[in-house]
Amino acid sequence: MYNVKRGRGRRAAEPRPRGARRPGAPRKEIDFMNEIIDYRPYMVSECKVYVDVSEVRLKDGKLYPLSFVWEDGNRYEIDRIIDVRNAASLKAGGAGVRYTVRIRGQDKYMFLEEDLGVTKWFMERK
């Protein structure tokens, strides 16, 4: 494993304090049933950007985004909606209705997520 000679020059590993975890290991939490469950920090993502969207809703219930305002304040028009499906965001985390849209010649994903009756639009940061 490690390229260390046995005997001289070898330092004993210091034991970790009780309850400490290895670097990079997921944190553990105890729920109400005293079972250990994994808590992974990827649930909060730096890749998710909530955006303001101007949209149109047709009388048959379909919802189409027209433009959005990015976090720097610039408004971008959506040239074309390519695909609409239920999917998860693998980069940012979260799920909902994924719109594949064309913006200035580039294909991007927009997600419409619904949480307790509140609908929010988000996009993935690069």
- Find, among 46, 65, 40, the residue nearest to 119 by Cα: 65
pTM of the model: 0.62
Contact (CB, 8 A) for 87 and 70: no
User: What is the number of residues in the chain?
Assistant: 126
CA angle 65, 94, 103 (to 5 degrees): 30
* Domain spans in the chain, listed from the N-terminal domain onward: 47-124
DSSP state of 61: S
95-109 pLDDT tens trace:
889 999 999 999 999
**What residue spans of 27-125 are helical by DSSP H?**
none
36-60 pLDDT tens trace:
444 444 344 578 889 999 999 999 9
First vs last C-alpha separation in the chain: 36
